[in-house]
Amino acid sequence: MAVQTLFGTTGIRGDAKELFTDQFSFDLGRTFAIFLKNEGQVGKVAVGIDPRESSPRIRAAYASGLIYEGFEVFDEGVAPIPAMNYILKAEPSFAGSTMVSGSHIKPHLNGLKFFALGEEIQKEHEAKIDKIYVDIKENVKYLDKSEIMVPDDSASGSYQDYLVSKAKLPYPAWKVVVDPGNGAQSDVAPWVLRQLGLDVIELNASVQGEFYSRDTEVEGDFKGLQETVVTEKADFGIGYDSDGDRVVFIDEKGNYIPGDYTGALLAKEAVGESVVTPINTSQVVEETGKKVIRTKVGSSHVVAKMKEAGASFGFEANGGGIFSDMLSRDGGRTMVEVLNILAARKGTFSDFVATLPKYFLARDKVEYEWSLKEKIIGKAKKSFKGVKTEEIDGLKIWLSDSSWILFRSSLNAPEFRVFAESKDKAEAEKLLREGLELVRKIVGK
C-alpha cells in the first residue's frame, strides 16, 4: 500500500473491509509495538472498541500484531476514547493504548486512534509510525494470536471514577435525558450521571442496540433527544457521538446547543488568558475575552498549540473539549465541567447559553473525490470576494467583519465541508447554499 501518510485529521480511517484487512490491521499492530519500543515505552497495551460491526475483527487482527512483537494486550471491550487515554495516567503499567473506532463516519468505515507518552500521539509521532509501517508491512504473514488477549475493564472503570471526581457537588435535582447513540458512552455516561445524583432518562444507551454513526455538528442527528427532553420536561439533554469523545447539549426548550457554544462557555471560566480552537469554530469564542489561538482542524493540532501556548483549555466545534491534564478530546469531562458551571449559576440551560451573543453557523458536507480539492478551492477563491482570507486549513473568506464562509476537505472521509457564519441567520444559510452549490457543480452532484 503506497501512501504518503496513513493518517487523516484524526487517526487512521477508511473502509473496514477494503483498507482494514486482517493483514493491514496486523501490520499496524506490529508498527505501533515497534514505535513504543523505539520511544522507550515498556509495559502492557490496552485496546478498546466502539460497537460497530467491524470493530471486533479489526481489534483481533491489530492485537495479534502487538502480541507478535511481544506485548501483552488487554482487551478493554467497548470503551469511550477518553477512557483509552486516561488509562495511561491511571495505570502507568500501560505503555500505550489504542481505540478501534470510526467515530461519526459511516458504519462500513472504521479507524484506529493511538495513545502513548501520556497523551494522544502527535503529528511527529504519526510521521514515525508512517515510516515504520512502510519498512515492515507484509514482511510477516498475518497470524491470529487474539485468543491470548487479557479481558479487562479497567479503562472504563477508572474513567468513570475520574469523571465523578471532577464534579463540584451537590448539583440541583436535575432531570436529564442522556443519549449515547448506542455508542461507547452507553455504559459510562448514564452511570456517572446517576452517581452525581441526577434523575436520568436513558435513550439509545445499549451497546447491543442499533449502531448510530452520527455527527455532533449536525442538529438533525439529535432530533429524538430534542423531542424527548421536551416530552419528559427534562432540565436538559446530553448527546454523544459513537466513540464518546464529543458531546452536545439540548436545553430545556428542546434547542440544540452547538459545541462551539458549550466550548466558549467553558473557555470563559478556564484558567489562563488563552484558549485554542480550530479555524472552523464559531467566532462566538472571541466574545469570551480570552486570547483566541486558531489552528488546523483536528484534536492533535489543538493539543500541540495548547502545549506551545501553555493554555489550560481548548475545544473543537464538534463538542470535544480538551483539558491540559489529559490532552485529548474528552466528551465526558466536557459534560461534567458544563454541569459544574451550570450548577454554580443556578439558572436554566437556555439562560446559561444566552450569556453569549448569538451567531448563526450553518454547515454541511458533500461526498466527493479527494482529487477535486484544489479545483474546488481555486473556484471558491474566484467566486467569493471578501475583506480578508485565511488559509490555516482550507479557505476561509470573510465577507465582512462578522460573516465568513469556509471551504475545507475532510481528511478522515471523502467529504468536502462548507461552513458559513453570520449574525444574521438568513445570511448564513444563503452563504452555505452558495458554497454547497459551487462544490456540487464541480463534484457533479
The reply to whether 242 belongs to the active site is: no
**Residue 139 burial (C-beta neighbours within 10 Å; 0-12, 13-18, 19+):** exposed
Nearest by Cα to 153 from 213, 93, 76, 222: 76
Give the separation between CA 77 and CA 84, rounded to whole angstroms: 11
Residue type, 292: V
Amino acid (one-letter) located at 57: R
Whole-angstrom Cα distance, residue 158 to residue 114? 19
C-alpha span between 346 and 256 (Å, rounded): 20
Q: What is the layout of strands, in order, in the sheet containing 256-257?
A: 199-202, 175-179, 236-240, 247-250, 256-257
Which residue among 64, 103, 213, 299 is the active-site one?
Answer: 103
Q: How far apart are CA 3 and CA 218, in angstroms?
A: 31
Closest listed residue to residue 212, CA positions, set 238, 189, 240, 188? 240
Separation of alpha carbons 71 and 50, rounded Å? 22
Q: What is the DSSP string of 285-352?
A: GGGGSSEEEEE-SSHHHHHHHHHHHT-SEEE-TTS-EEETTT-SB-HHHHHHHHHHHHHHHTS-HHHH
**Which residues are designated catalytic?**
103
